[in-house]
């Protein structure tokens, strides 16, 4: 009997994208996920650390730049003990807001609304 492959439809790379800018690569950039960010799923909302320019999980209570949502992780990664280079959505994209992954600091719907407002300033629009 053949093996059955089961995939979580909310876990694949870029599963959150509705549409991207013409030429698609215009919407993406290579970014560095800061060491200590942990194991992150595709679709994790990220903030940009002001001092280093690296990215980490969006944290509405942060005071280092991560309190402002700036990107969405294209593919998962493990940045527990070292910096990791990954692709992120940084501009001009429509996304499925209901499938985005959120860090532990996002505890209310208002946090999500604030993050989506931040992302909208870069043309990342939640649907």
Of 88, 90, 86, the closest CA to residue 120 belongs to: 90
pTM of the model: 0.90
State yes or no: pLDDT of 2 exceeds 80: no
pLDDT in tens, 75-122: 999 999 999 999 999 999 999 999 999 999 999 999 999 999 999 999
Level-2 CATH architecture, domain 25-126: Beta Barrel (2.40)
Q: Are 44 and 16 in contact (CB under 8 A)?
A: no
Q: How many CB atoms lie within 10 A of CB 109?
A: 8
Question: For the chain, what are the domain ranges?
Answer: 25-126
pLDDT at 12: 82
pLDDT at 8: 54
pLDDT at 13: 85
pLDDT in tens, 26-84: 999 999 999 999 999 999 999 999 999 999 999 999 999 999 999 999 999 999 999 99
Pairing status of strand 124-126 against strand 93-95: parallel
DSSP state of 64: S
Q: Which helix (H) or strand (E) holds 125?
A: strand 124-126
State yes or no: pLDDT of 5 exceeds 50: no
pLDDT at 49: 98
Q: Are 93 and 109 in contact (CB under 8 A)?
A: no
């Amino acid at each position: 009997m053949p093996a059955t492959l089961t995939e979580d439809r909310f876990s694949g790379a870029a599963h959150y994208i509705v549409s991207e800018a013409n030429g698609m690569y215009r919407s993406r950039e290579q970014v560095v996920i800061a060491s200590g960010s942990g194991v992150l799923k595709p679709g994790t909302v990220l903030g940009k650390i002001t001092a280093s320019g690296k990215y980490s999980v969006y944290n509405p209570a942060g005071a280092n730049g991560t309190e402002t949502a700036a990107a969405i992780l294209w593919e998962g990664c493990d940045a527990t003990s070292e910096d990791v280079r990954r692709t992120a959505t940084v501009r001009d994209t429509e996304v499925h807001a209901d499938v985005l992954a959120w860090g532990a600091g996002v505890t209310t719907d208002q946090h999500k609304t604030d993050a989506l407002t931040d992302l909208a300033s870069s043309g990342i629009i939640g649907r």
